[in-house]
Structure 1
């Protein structure tokens, strides 16, 4: 039996780090329409994201995400800082991080990959295109890609 993460009866655990309520709503809508059962957790700034990932304070019982969707432009601690801290941490670095941001700036793309983001997606402005982008991403990451085995991610 393979020990890579399969998405069957167990829902995928997703962490969305996003401060724009409209984008949160669209992301939730896209996942609701999708085929992969998931638990989507949302935090609205970089500090909250790190509290969730380190299971501190109100997030002491938070699950370990299978995947993180990370906006770059966040209040308090920005997405690049979160990405850097996450990828420097031995127990968290194997969690795939998808940068999902409105920035099309080449330096943001380059910097995200330098900090070991697993993918960089630019948010479409059109709500229908936004939903399509999230659904395409969901299908790819949960139907095609093999995620790290549980024992290497705990």
Structure 2
């Protein structure tokens, strides 16, 4: 029996939807220092995120993400709009979405879970704590959790 699918032979494909260049830099740094091989793709607004996920326009040849890290506070189409559209699309809804935001508002937490976010993480203000949070997230989602395979006929 071929056990090829029981381990990750290719880098994890992560889509970071974040408009703050400082947070993008810290996230890159955290993933670079982590032990999980990954390709981090970055878009800075909700419209780009949905185009990336749907592989439209300039994103026609991008890989399907294994996971989405989503900020809520985005210019134009905000993170909750992206989450709602992504989870409403049968071909995309199985992609885990982790809300990674500075918002500590209980309303944002509740709404994110109502829209089927898989987790809600509040960004620490301290850069070292931010990096530690991303590393802990990476270890959990790529070492402990079993992610869904990409559907062949979507």
Q: TM-score, normalised by structure 1?
A: 0.95
SS of corresponding position for 1:117? coil
1:3-152 matches, within 5 Å, as 6-7=7-8, 9-151=9-151
Deviation of the 1:102 alpha carbon: 0.1
Structure 2 CA distance for partners of 1:31 and 1:153, relative to 1, 3 Å: farther
Which residues of structure 2 form unaligned runs of 5+? none
SS of corresponding position for 1:13? strand
Deviation of the 1:62 alpha carbon: 1.0
Root mean square deviation of aligned Cα: 1.6
Higher relative contact order (CA 8 A, sep 6+): 1
Deviation of the 1:5 alpha carbon: 6.6
Q: TM-score, normalised by structure 2?
A: 0.95
SS of corresponding position for 2:151? helix
On the 8 A contact 1:14/1:40 being kept in 2, the answer is yes
SS of corresponding position for 1:151? coil
SS of corresponding position for 1:120? strand
Deviation of the 1:149 alpha carbon: 2.3
1:100-152, Cα deviation, whole Å (9 max, x unpaired): 00000000000000000000000000000000000000000000001112337
SS of corresponding position for 2:125? coil
Which residues of structure 1 form unaligned runs of 5+? none
